[in-house]
């Protein structure tokens, strides 16, 4: 191996090593089966080797989708040799979420094993996460996971409870303020923390809450313009799961800043929800809901389930995603894991890690004092009651 190829991972020109499969300096014999297959795919497409460049969500991740128009027009991804095709997951939870159970290191290790080149840790927002040091303690774990996986791009993110709507992935480019921007953002704009969740057609607070969501994305844009962070991205998570992301809200978020709010989950995570043992009515993506008073009344009942794992907005020909694209919007869809823990049936040990029904978290940040864990509470290092975490307590997972 002669050296290590890099790509430019942010507007500040920070350079990052390519994954081994993408690095032309790594001989093919050193790759695993997946690496060989991925390299072959890119090579057949004429996108591997000198001038390695490709259209990819990671291109959007690295540049916030802000490639100059000229770069978008040539071959996919432009001719910029610094742009790299990378495979990633923007929706992963750890013990810093009240309903997940793995450490950052464990998640990053598995992500690397299964071929991710980049990943975003998206812990659920809560007051402790923002105010009791959770976001900053989490940052130390992110730095550790980066050190353990030097070729992987690891982002610290947040699962934002959009006022009047569903969840969203929010994350910034690595840098000095990557954790602080999340902390400030959740305090100022999180629907759950501010009790600004109302979004149904008959709720008095709906219009103001929907406006707050738009303001939130504009605030991120302002922080980016001010140089507080190099870049920031927002993606709507499981958009049809509860029927509360209405078409006008999706358009308004994208309009607020189309280079920041760049898309939605087309194939939401929790794909293992329909595996045997999860219950006869369990559906891929955990889309197991019915319309409520919070839902947008225009969505039919069939919008509340997935189709081959795809969200109804994406799965429907001529549906909402097609409509957004037909309006000329660059509105991407993603697939990701929303991993909280394995979906294996109780007792299964295929992953070598405790299964989801286990009563003991797989790993615990040791500095947190053991405390009873309640799924209903905003617990974990981000607890609103106290910055404690349950290690070895008798918690029931889902």
Tell me the per-residue interface mask from 254 to 283 with Zn ion, x by CB under 5 A, - otherwise. ------------------------------
Q: Which is nearer to Zn ion, 99 or 148 (CB)?
A: 99
Shortest CB 239 distance to Zn ion, Å: 13
Q: Which is nearer to Zn ion, 53 or 313 (CB)?
A: 313
Q: Which is nearer to Zn ion, 159 or 230 (CB)?
A: 159
Q: State the Cα–Cα distance between residues 234 and 165, nearest whole angstrom.
A: 14
153-161 and 118-124 beta bridge pairing: parallel
Q: If DSSP codes are grouped into helix, strand and coil, which group holds residue 209? A: helix
Q: Which is nearer to Zn ion, 311 or 338 (CB)?
A: 338
Q: State the Cα–Cα distance between residues 72 and 222, nearest whole angstrom.
A: 25
Q: Judged by CB under 5 A, how many residues of this single chain contact Zn ion?
A: 2
Q: Which position among 338, 363, 387, 395 is part of the footprint of Zn ion (CB under 5 A)? A: 338
Q: CB neighbours of 234 closer than 8 A, spacing ≥ 6?
A: 160, 168, 169, 170, 217, 220, 253, 260, 261, 262
Shortest CB 124 distance to Zn ion, Å: 7
CB burial string 338-373: b at 16+ within 10 A, e below: bbbbbbbeeeeeeeebbbbbbeebbbbbeebeebeb
Shortest CB 285 distance to Zn ion, Å: 11
Q: Which is nearer to Zn ion, 198 or 338 (CB)?
A: 338
Q: CB neighbours of 329 closer than 8 A, spacing ≥ 6?
A: 254, 258
Q: CB neighbours of 156 closer than 8 A, spacing ≥ 6?
A: 120, 121, 135, 138, 139, 142, 171, 172, 178, 179, 182
Shortest CB 1 distance to Zn ion, Å: 37
Q: Which is nearer to Zn ion, 89 or 231 (CB)?
A: 89
Binding positions for Zn ion, 120-159, rule CB under 5 A: 159
Q: Is 245 in the site for Zn ion (CB under 5 A)?
A: no
Shortest CB 397 distance to Zn ion, Å: 14
Instruction: Point out which residues bind Zn ion (CB under 5 A).
Output: 159, 338
């Amino acid at each position: 191996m002669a050296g290590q190829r890099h790509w430019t991972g942010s507007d500040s020109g920070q350079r990052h090593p390519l994954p081994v499969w993408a690095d032309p300096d790594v001989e093919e014999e050193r790759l695993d089966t997946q690496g060989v297959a991925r390299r072959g795919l890119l090579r057949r497409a004429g996108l591997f080797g000198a001038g390695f460049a490709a259209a990819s969500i990671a291109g959007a991740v690295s540049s916030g989708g802000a490639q100059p128009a000229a770069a978008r027009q040539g071959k996919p991804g432009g001719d910029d040799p610094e742009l790299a095709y990378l495979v990633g997951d923007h929706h992963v939870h750890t013990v810093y979420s009240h309903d997940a159970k793995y450490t950052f290191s464990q998640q990053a290790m598995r992500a690397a094993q299964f071929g991710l080149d980049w990943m975003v840790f998206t812990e659920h927002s809560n007051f402790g996460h923002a105010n009791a040091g959770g976001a900053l303690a989490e940052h130390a774990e992110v730095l550790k996971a980066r050190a353990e996986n030097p070729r992987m791009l690891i982002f610290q993110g947040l699962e934002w409870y959009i006022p009047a709507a569903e969840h969203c992935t929010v994350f910034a480019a690595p840098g000095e303020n990557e954790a602080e921007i999340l902390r400030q953002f959740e305090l100022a704009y999180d629907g759950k923390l501010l009790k600004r969740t109302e979004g149904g057609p008959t709720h008095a607070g709906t219009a103001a809450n929907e406006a707050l969501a738009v303001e939130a994305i504009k605030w991120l844009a302002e922080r980016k313009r001010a140089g507080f962070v190099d870049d920031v991205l927002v993606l709507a998570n499981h958009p049809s799961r509860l029927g509360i992301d209405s078409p006008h809200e999706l358009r308004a978020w994208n309009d607020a800043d189309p280079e920041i709010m760049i898309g939605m989950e087309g194939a939401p995570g929790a794909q293992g929800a329909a595996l045997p043992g999860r219950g006869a009515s369990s559906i891929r993506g955990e889309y197991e809901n019915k319309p409520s008073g919070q839902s947008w009344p225009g969505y039919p009942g069939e919008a509340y389930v997935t189709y081959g794992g795809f969200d109804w907005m994406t799965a429907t020909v001529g549906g909402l995603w097609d409509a957004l694209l037909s309006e000329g919007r660059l509105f991407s869809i993603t697939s990701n894991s929303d991993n909280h823990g394995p979906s294996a049936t109780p007792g299964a040990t295929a992953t070598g890690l405790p299964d989801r029904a286990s009563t003991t978290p797989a790993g615990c940040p040791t500095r947190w004092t053991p405390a009873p864990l309640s799924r209903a509470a905003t617990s974990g290092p981000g607890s609103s009651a106290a910055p404690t975490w349950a290690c070895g307590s008798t918690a029931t997972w889902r």
